[in-house]
A = this chain, B = another copy of it.
Amino acid sequence: MAPDRLTAFTDGVVAILITILVLELKPPLGDHFGDILDEKGRLLAYLLSFVFVAIYWVNHHHLFQVVHRIDGRVLWANIHLLFWLSLTPVATAWLGRTGAKTGPVATYAVVLLGCAIAYTLLTLALLALHEAESQLHQAIGDDRKGKLSLLLYAVAFVLAFIEPWISIALFVVVACIWFVPDRRVSRTLQSST
């Protein structure tokens, strides 16, 4: 089966998730320019959640550039990823309100770990469908980025009970790793043309 409808559906779900926290933003009560700071916490939570979901979308976009076929298992692996992604906004909202406390930081680590595991499972389901010499196999390689992320999120979960700020620093580190997504895929795409 071709991946067209899977990507279209993913785009629809992500479009909703990326904008869900906008619904929480309310105009401030006053009419001074400084009143906008009343919404600081929600704005920041929105920005964070927006960036995290966007990073996944951009990487999903790149991944599927080299995907040529899918099956039922890939569909479910993708829906599983969407489920974990859909929890990001509410986890971010909690974090945005309380700041660096154990509860929201540990929850955030669980949600991000869920997303990372789901992304890894999706990658494995796709690799199983493509030949060893395919563009996909060359682009993914031994998936060091994926494995490192899983490890860092697990560490961040444990540290949330000791010093939440270190966990947050680890989230930022993983985000930076994935912010530039194209290297592997674009290198493969270029070298094959």
B-contacting residues of A (Cβ < 8 Å)?
A: 1, 5-9, 11-20, 22-23, 25-28, 30-36, 47, 50, 54, 57-58, 61-62, 64-65, 71-72, 75-76, 79, 82-83, 86-87, 89-91, 93-94, 97-98, 101-104, 106-107, 160-161, 180-182, 186, 189
Contact = CB atoms under 8 A, between A and B. Distances in A.
A82 B28 CA distance: 22
Contacts of A23: 20, 23
B58 A27 contact: no
A14 B22 CA distance: 13
Given A22-B86, A98-B31, A103-B36, A58 B76 contact: yes
A16 B15 contact: yes
Contacts of A97: 27
Contact of A33 (B27, B72, B102, B180): B102
